[in-house]
Amino acid sequence: MKTIAILSTAGGAGRTTLTAALAMLLARRGRPVVAVDFDPQNLLGAHLGLDELPPAGIGAAITSDAPWHAHTWSNEEGVLFVPYGEMPDAPDGALASLPPTTLRLAEEPDWLARSLGGIDLPGQGVVLIDTPRYPSMHAAQALRCADLVVCVTPPEPGALATLVRHLPKLRAAGKRPLFVLNRLNPAREMQRDALSMLTAALGRGVAPVMRLHADAALPEAFARGSWLFDDAPYSQTSHDLHGLASAVEEQLAALDESSRVPGAELK
C-alpha cells in the first residue's frame, strides 16, 4: 500500500478535483483506492458522488480519538471514501486562539500516519489524501505520511513564487514531488513563461512538470455529477488526467523498485 498526498501552496489550485479524479482513474486501473478528505472544507465527498456534506468523519477524531471507520462510504466504482466531517464553529471569544485540531496536530506530527496505519489495503492499494493549502498542520501531516506527493499549482506568477519559496521545505521532506501545472492556457504567453520559470526553479533530476489544461467542462461535469473523462474522453484535459494517472503509476512502480533494490534511487 502506498500513500499519496495532494498538496499545493495556493488556494483553489485544483487539489480536491485532482484527488477525486486520480482516485477514480487509479481505481479503474484495478487498484484498491481509499480517498481521504483531510481538509476541514469537507468537500471531497461531493466530488466522489455524495449528495450532502458528510456530517462525521476523521476531523472529529483528531481531538477526541473517536473511531472514524464507521463513517466511510464506498462510491459506485469502489473508491472507499473517508470524510473529514463537519466541525463546530469556534465559540465567540475563541477566535484569536488556535483551533484544538491544529494544536493536537502540532503536538502529534504523526497523528495522520498513525490513524491511517489501520487501513488494510493489499500491496497495489493506494491512499490518496486531499489537504488544505500548504503550509498548514493538516497538509504537514499528509506530507509526513506520504510515499508520493503530487504538488499542484496554477500557472500564475504569485502562486509560483509562493511554491518556489516553499520548495526547500517540500524537498527537505524527502518525497520528490510530482509537479502539476493546472488550469494551463498555452495561448497565454505569461503562462508559458510560468512553465519555464517552474522548470528552471526545479532544476535537473526531477520528473517533468505535468500539465493540466484549463477546461470549463471540468467544473461543469462536476456540477452534473459526472466525470470529464467520461463525458469528453478525447478532450485535451481528459488526456492530461489520464497522463497524470500514468505518471503516478510510474512513480509508484519506481518506489516499489527502489524498495526491492537496496540503494536504488527514485527516478
Residue 79 binds which entry of ligand ATP, Mg ion, none, with Cβ cut-offs from 5 to 8 Å by kind? none
For 75, half-sphere exposure in the C-beta direction (CA atoms, 13 angstrom radius) is 26
When the beta carbons of 32 and 183 are compared against ligand ATP, the nearer one is 183
User: To which H or E segment does residue 100 belong?
Assistant: helix 100-107
Residue 117 binds which entry of Mg ion, ligand ATP, none, with Cβ cut-offs from 5 to 8 Å by kind? none
| Minimum distance from residue 149 beta carbon to ligand ATP (Å) | 14
Residue 238 binds which entry of ligand ATP, Mg ion, none, with Cβ cut-offs from 5 to 8 Å by kind? none
> CA separation (Å) from 228 to 34, 148, 216, 217, 238?
21, 25, 10, 7, 6
> CA separation (Å) from 230 to 32, 83, 225, 237?
20, 25, 11, 12
When the beta carbons of 207 and 214 are compared against ligand ATP, the nearer one is 214
| Minimum distance from residue 121 beta carbon to ligand ATP (Å) | 24
**By CB under 5 A, what part of segment 3-62 binds Mg ion?**
15-16
Grid cell in block for residue 153: 499549482
When the beta carbons of 18 and 202 are compared against Mg ion, the nearer one is 18
Binding residues for ligand ATP, per CB under 6 A? 8, 11-17, 39, 41, 133, 182-183, 212, 214-215, 218-219, 222, 237
Binding-site size for Mg ion (CB under 5 A) equals: 2
Residues facing 6 on adjacent strands: 130, 150
When the beta carbons of 14 and 32 are compared against ligand ATP, the nearer one is 14
When the beta carbons of 8 and 115 are compared against ligand ATP, the nearer one is 8
| Separation of alpha carbons 210 and 10, rounded Å | 17
Q: List strands edge to edge, sheet with 33-37.
A: 73-74, 80-82, 33-37, 126-130, 2-7, 148-153, 178-184, 210-213
Q: Which residues bind Mg ion (CB under 5 A)?
A: 15-16
